[in-house]
Amino acid sequence: MISDPWNQIRKRFVERCRGDLHRLRESRSSGAYRDSAETLSVLVAIAHSLAGAGGTLGFPEISSRAVELESLLIEGKIDDRTSAALDQLIQAVETVSDRSD
C-alpha cells in the first residue's frame, strides 16, 4: 500500500488549526482587532498563513475564507463585513479542527 506523503503534513495543519481557532475566537470575542494594531497584525498573519497552507493542503474553504478576511483587514475595512468574514473563517476552521483523523 502506498502511503500519502502529505498525510502527516495535513495532520499537523489540523493541529495548528486548533491553536489558530483559539486565537481567532479570542480576537472575535474581544473585538480587539478593531482598535489594536498589534491584534490586527496577528490576525492578518493568521489569515495569511491559513490562506496559503489551506489551499496547498486541500482545505479550500479555509483558504478562501482566510483570503477574504486578510484582504478586508489589509484594506483597513474594519466593519460588519470584516466581522462576518472572521465568523466565516472561524466556522471553516472549526469544521477542520473537529476532525479526529
Domain of residue 39 covers 10-97
CATH number (domain holding residue 41): 1.20.120
Residue 4 forms part of a structural domain: no
Residue 2 located in a structural domain: no
Q: Which residue has the higher pLDDT, 78 or 4?
A: 78
User: Residue 58: left if φ>0, alpha if ψ -120 to 50, beta else—which one?
Assistant: left
* 26-60 residue pLDDT tens: 999 988 888 888 888 999 999 999 999 999 999 99
In a domain, 86, yes or no: yes
pLDDT of residue 3: 73
Measure the CA–CA gap between 75 and 5, rounded to whole angstroms: 37
Distance of alpha carbon 84 from alpha carbon 101, whole angstroms: 29
* 65-88 per-position pLDDT tens digit: 999 999 999 998 889 999 999 999
Q: What single-letter DSSP state applies at residue 32?
A: G
- Count: domains in the chain: 1
